[in-house]
Amino acid sequence: MPSDAHTKHLAAVAKPSLEGFRSSLATTIAQLQSLVAELEGDEAARSVHMAEHLGAFAQGRVNPNRFAQFAQGQQAATPAAAPVLQRAIAVLQEVHQAGTQLTHHTLQPGKNLRCLLSHSLRQIGRAFGAARVAQLATAGCFDEREHAPLLDQYLFRYWGPEQRKLAPMLVIHIEDGDVQATNLGEFLDGAVKVILNFGNLCSAAPLARLISPGVFVVQTTDPQLLAEFAAWDGPGVAAIVPQDCAQFVHNPLAGTALHQRLNLLHLPSHAPKHAFGGLSLQQQMEDVHQLQVLAKAAESAPASEEASPARPVDKLAALLLNKAHLEEV
Partner 1 sequence: MSCTPPSDSAPSTTAPTAATVHTLPEHILEILSDSGEGAQKCGQSFGAVSAKMGNGAWTVEIIPAEIQPPPRTPEGASGVRIRIGTDEVTNWGNRTKLVIAFNEQVLLSRHRVQALADDAIILIENMWETHADANIRQAWADAFAELSTANYRFIQVPMEEECLKIVDNPRRGKNMFALGLMSWIYHRDVEKVKDQIAMQFRHKPKEVYERNVRLLEAGIAWAQTHLDFRFDIPTGDVSEDLVVMNGNTALAMGAVMSGLELCSMYPITPATSVSHYLSSIFDDMGGVVHQAEDEIAAIGVAIGASYAGKVAFTVTSGPGMALKTEFIGLAVMSETPLVIVDVQRGGPSTGLPTKVEQSDLLSTLFASPGDSPKVVLAPSTIEECFHCMITARQIAETFRAVVVVLSDANLATGQQPFSRPKLQANWHALEPNLGPVKDGHQPFGWDAETGLSQRIVPGRLGGQYTATGLAHNEDSHVSYDPYNNQRTSAMRSRKLAVLQSTLEPPRVVGPESNDLLLVGWGSTRGAIEEAAEKARAEGLGVSSTHLTFLSPLQPGLKEIFSRFQHVMTVEINYSDEADDPYINEENRRRGQLSWLLRATTLVDVDCWTRVLGQPLSPGDILQVIKKKLS
Partner 2 sequence: MSSTCSLLGCETLDNRNFSLEDYGGPTPRWCPGCGDHAILTAVQRLLATEQLKPETTVFVSGIGCSSRFPHYVETYGFHGIHGRALPLATGIKLARPELDVFVVMGDGDCCSIGAGHWVHAIRYNLNLTVMLLDNNIYGLTKKQTSPTTPQGFKSNTQPRGSYLPPINPLQTTLGITNASFVAQTADWMPSHLAATLEAAHAHQGLSFVRILQRCPVFTPDIFTEAVKNPQITDVLVHPQGIEDPTSAGIYKSQITHDPSDIHEARRLAEACDRVRVGLFFRNESFPRYEVLRTVPKRTVEEKINLLNKEFDRYAI
Q: Which residues bind partner 2 (CB under 8 A)?
A: 23-28, 30-32, 92, 127-128, 131-132, 134-135, 138, 157-163, 166, 322, 327-328
Q: Which is nearer to partner 2, 91 or 238 (CB)?
A: 91
* CA atoms of 225 and 230, how far apart (whole Å): 10
Minimum distance, C-beta of residue 308 to partner 2, in the bound complex (Å): 8
Minimum distance, C-beta of residue 158 to partner 1, in the bound complex (Å): 14
Please enumerate in sequence order all residues whose Cβ is within 8 A of that of 193, keeping only pairs 6 or more positions apart, or say none.
Answer: 17, 167, 169, 170, 216, 229, 230, 232, 235, 236, 237, 238
Note whether 53 binds partner 1 by CB under 8 A: yes
* CA atoms of 294 and 296, how far apart (whole Å): 5
Sole binder of partner 1 in the list 16, 140, 149, 242 (CB under 8 A): 140
Q: Which is nearer to partner 2, 163 or 283 (CB)?
A: 163
Stretch that binds partner 1, among 27-35, 82-90, 105-113, 177-185 (CB under 8 A): 27-35
* Residue 273 Cα distances to 66, 244, 245, 248, 293, angstroms: 78, 12, 12, 21, 21
Q: Which is nearer to partner 2, 109 or 312 (CB)?
A: 312
Size of the site for partner 1 (CB under 8 A): 32
Minimum distance, C-beta of residue 25 to partner 2, in the bound complex (Å): 7
Cα dihedral 98, 229, 125, 172 in deg (nearest 10): -60
Question: Pattern of binders to partner 1 over 108-137, x per CB under 8 A?
Answer: ------------------------x-xxx-
What part of residues 149-188 is at the interface with partner 1 (CB under 8 A)? Answer: none
* CA atoms of 108 and 261, how far apart (whole Å): 33
Q: Say whether 248 sits in a helix, a strand or coil.
A: strand
Burial environment of residue 240 by CB neighbours within 10 A (0 to 12, 13 to 18, 19 or more): buried
- Beta strands 104-107 and 170-174 are parallel
Minimum distance, C-beta of residue 138 to partner 1, in the bound complex (Å): 6
End-to-end alpha carbon distance in the chain: 35
Question: Could you tell me if 241 and 225 are in contact, meaning their C-beta atoms sit under 8 angstroms apart?
Answer: no
* Residue 325 Cα distances to 194, 249, 307, 319, 329, angstroms: 20, 21, 20, 10, 8
Distance of CA 41 to the CA centre of its chain: 37
Note whether 44 binds partner 1 by CB under 8 A: no
- Picked from partner 1, partner 2, none, the partner binding residue 4 (CB below 5 to 8 A depending on kind) is none
* CA atoms of 225 and 162, how far apart (whole Å): 27
What part of residues 305-324 is at the interface with partner 1 (CB under 8 A)? Answer: none
Q: Say whether 56 sits in a helix, a strand or coil.
A: helix
- Picked from partner 2, partner 1, none, the partner binding residue 56 (CB below 5 to 8 A depending on kind) is partner 1
Minimum distance, C-beta of residue 61 to partner 1, in the bound complex (Å): 6
- Picked from partner 2, partner 1, none, the partner binding residue 26 (CB below 5 to 8 A depending on kind) is partner 2
Sole binder of partner 1 in the list 5, 42, 55, 145 (CB under 8 A): 55
Binding site for partner 1 (CB under 8 A): 27, 30-31, 34, 49, 52-58, 60-63, 66-67, 70-71, 73-76, 132, 134-136, 138-141
